[in-house]
Structure 1
Amino acid sequence: MTDAVAPRWLSPRSLLVLAAALALSVAASVLGSGVTTPNLPWYETLAKPPFNPPKAAFPIAWTILYVLMALALWRAAVLGRGAARGRAILAYGVQYVLNVGWSFAFFGAQSPALGLAVIGALLVAIAWTIVRFRAIDRAAALLLWPYLAWVSFAALLNASILVLNR
């Protein structure tokens, strides 16, 4: 880190952006959990593929992913300028809405089919976000790759549940 960059990371604005990015991740987690938790009894009745992870894996994975997402957003927001930053934040916003929307589609509507449609759009939106973040900061883009990998796995899991429960 150069001397010119170090103060930017520690500035009040940067720390406020970090706090906002973390708060956004907490909000996504709370919204998703709020619709998922009451519908877990329904989920337990579904046939699942043999590669379905144990229940404990989901909150661990999502906690890590939400922290990585917040750090990526923070870097893009602090380092980005002008239209590039605006496009990156727009892409992040779209994937964020789809991320939360998946819980409402799959669990809230109790619809693996609707969940699969939303997660397909989410995968495209995450890839778009990575491209937009990469235009600003390579590290910000790299922080989103585990998220893309997990959501790809989740899409396979969602599709398998849909097929097994027809």
Structure 2
Amino acid sequence: METQNRPTIIRLIVYWMMAAGMTGLVSGLAFATGVVEWVYDELETPFFLPPLMILTWLWIAKTMIMALALWTVDRFGTGLSRWIAMIGITLLFLASAGWLTGFVILRDVSVGFYAILVSFILTVLTMLVVGRANKAAGVMMWPVFGWTTFMLVVSFELMRLNTGLQLAGL
């Protein structure tokens, strides 16, 4: 049996603090730059876009679950898949920065859609390896997958409704 130093609850708190800082940054930028008003007042939105507070709380929950999954893989993961899973989850946090840049800072619904599309593909790939590294962390990734899938659909609809994108039968 390997005797190695695995992260304690302190590292989980650090991961959660970093995730909370990231969600605070996104929320602060969204309100400070007026993107909230842009989305809810100026853009055509799909009927299933939830109210802002629900959207915010779900995004915070998703980010905190990702941090918990990262810690779980770090603490209990095994083999090479542990390291690959940790890299994948970290890349998911960076993918959020891509969406932040495209949608919130540039205010471009198309760039936001493509950023969330990349995030969706990365989520699927990460889920495959996270489940191999640690089953509990793999289960934690399902809400992340659900959220990313929902936001992919929302982003597509925002792009379709606001760029004149016409699809056959839609």
TM-score range, shorter chain: 0.7 to 0.9
Give the count of matched residue pairs.
157
Q: Which residue of 1 aligns with 2:139?
A: 142
- Separation in 2, partners of 1:130, 1:120: 15
Q: Which residue of 1 aligns with 2:22?
A: 28
> Taking structure 1 as reference, are residues 117 and 93 closer, same or farther at Cα in structure 2, changes over 3 Å only?
same
Q: Is residue 162 of structure 1 aligned with residue 164 of structure 2?
A: no
Deviates more, 1:27-36 or 1:87-96: 27-36
- Aligned-residue CA RMSD in angstroms? 1.9
> Taking structure 1 as reference, are residues 83 and 12 closer, same or farther at Cα in structure 2, changes over 3 Å only?
closer
User: Is the CA contact 1:101–1:118 (under 8 Å) kept in the aligned structure 2?
Assistant: yes
Quote the offset at 1:99 in angstroms: 1.5
The one of 128, 131, 141 equivalent to 1:131 is 128
User: Is the CA contact 1:32–1:104 (under 8 Å) kept in the aligned structure 2?
Assistant: no
User: Is the CA contact 2:15–2:67 (under 8 Å) kept in the aligned structure 1?
Assistant: yes
Q: Give 5+ residue unaligned stretches, structure 2.
A: 164-170
Quote the offset at 1:30 in angstroms: 2.1
Q: Which residue of 1 aligns with 2:114?
A: 117
Runs of 4+ in 1 over 3 A off after TM superposition: none
Quote the offset at 1:109 in angstroms: 0.5
Q: Which residue of 2 aligns with 1:41?
A: 37
TM-score of the aligned structures, taking structure 2 as reference length = 0.84
* Identity among equivalent pairs (%): 22
The residue type equivalent to 1:41 in the other structure is E
Q: Which residue of 1 aligns with 2:95?
A: 98
Q: Which residue of 1 aligns with 2:77?
A: 80
User: Is the CA contact 1:17–1:78 (under 8 Å) kept in the aligned structure 2?
Assistant: no
Quote the offset at 1:81 in angstroms: 4.0
Deviates more, 1:80-89 or 1:51-60: 80-89
The residue type equivalent to 1:146 in the other structure is P
The residue type equivalent to 2:37 in the other structure is P
Instruction: Render the CA deviation track for 1:141-163: whole Å, top value 9, x for unaligned.
Output: 11111111111111111111111
Quote the offset at 1:83 in angstroms: 2.7
- Separation in 1, partners of 2:78, 2:24: 30
The residue type equivalent to 2:28 in the other structure is G
User: Is the CA contact 1:17–1:77 (under 8 Å) kept in the aligned structure 2?
Assistant: no
Q: Is residue 18 of structure 1 aligned with residue 19 of structure 2?
A: no
Matches within 5 A, 1:48-63: 48-63=45-60
